[in-house]
Amino acid sequence: MSCSGDRGVRLDAAGRRAYRAPVTRYRDAAAPDYSHRYHAGNVGDVWKHCALVEILRRTAAASRSVAYVESHAGEGRYALGPTGEWTEGIGRLWAAPAGDDAVGRYVALCRGLAPGATRPETYPGSPAFARGVLGPNAELELWERDAVACARLEAELRADARAHVRHGDGLSTLAAELRAAEKRVAAVVALVDPPWTAKADWSAVPEAVISAARASTRACIMLWYPLKSLTRPNAMLARFDRAGVGATTIELVTTPLGERRPRLNGSGVLLVRPPADALAALGAALPVIGAQCATRGSWSARIVADARRPDAR
């Protein structure tokens, strides 16, 4: 029998202090709670937004008009404290020389969107990256389920007449959004970036993306997912294969998957209909980010190519 003492301390039956592990949002047997406000700017965001910027840039270069759709758009911008997960992500790239490659372009855009001389003071959300790449005339169709986050996103984008913020379930409306957008513009890019708070997400999210891919004909869909092990990502890939929906995944691990920690070990992006040559550019970005953001001196990557695409062979 035991009783609670002050926070972080537990007393045993003899009244002695016993160590109690601090409360964490992560559980060993469950997916991490990737709430944006807690993890903004970490290596998962770096990889996600590096891929997003490159895909948007190549799509815009090849199309006369582009619409951007996001199912979980978040708050739009996040304050960064003096410490946090961003120190293992954008903090390690902030001062790097800007080069003419996928990582260099992402970092340069991030610096332009976020204030800070020696370090970023805020981190921009995905809608800001999309607007920064696509320019003022592109349509942004942004969904957010959380009422508080949605209100903050609306405030962030109040002056943007071409950004449409909607409070609701963007995952359930994704297929309809893509069909409608394809009728209005030449190209569509969709980002699916859920919080992955429940085990059921690993079934519901892929099914929604598969349905959206089948409902659309041209849209490029990018799904971001966390990595703590390969079990659930492998099952997700198998689900796409059984459905006959071609997809390529590119994963970056900066902390060995066997190591348990209250932060991400890595993350991946699943791409349906990516623009030409985007996969090669993102493959070249892996060692750049991996070398800078590795937490134990080593990093690893995995690319599972869609055999249906000639540029993925």
**266 pLDDT exceeds 70?**
yes
Mean pLDDT of the chain, nearest integer:
88
Give the span between the Cα atoms of 114 and 202, in whole angstroms: 32
Could you read off the pLDDT of 20-63 as tens digits, one per residue?
333 333 333 444 444 566 789 999 999 999 999 999 999 999 99
Q: Which amino acid is at 192?
A: V
Q: What is the mean pLDDT of residues 234-262?
A: 93
pLDDT at 205: 98
pLDDT at 307: 63
- What is the set of domains in the chain, with CATH numbers? 23-312 (3.40.50.150)
Tell me which DSSP letter residue 152 carries. Answer: H
Helix residue spans in the chain (DSSP H): 36-39, 43-62, 90-93, 102-113, 126-134, 147-156, 174-184, 201-215, 231-243, 278-293
Percentage of the chain modeled with pLDDT above 70:
86
Residue with tokens 């959004």: 177
Band (pLDDT 50/70/90 cuts) for residue 1 is: very low
pLDDT at 26: 34
Stronger pLDDT, 91 or 14, i.e. the higher one = 91
Could you read off the pLDDT of 144-199 as tens digits, one per residue?
999 999 999 999 999 999 999 999 999 999 999 999 999 999 999 999 999 998 99
pLDDT at 222: 98
Q: What is the mean pLDDT of residues 106-131?
A: 95
Bridge partner residues of 139 (DSSP) = 67
Residue 22 in contact with residue 8, Cβ under 8 Å? yes
pLDDT at 98: 79
**108 pLDDT exceeds 50?**
yes
DSSP output for 159-212? T-TTEEEEES-TTTTHHHHHHHHHHHSSEEEEEE-----STTHHHHHHHHHHHH
Give pTM, 2 decimals: 0.87
pLDDT at 21: 30
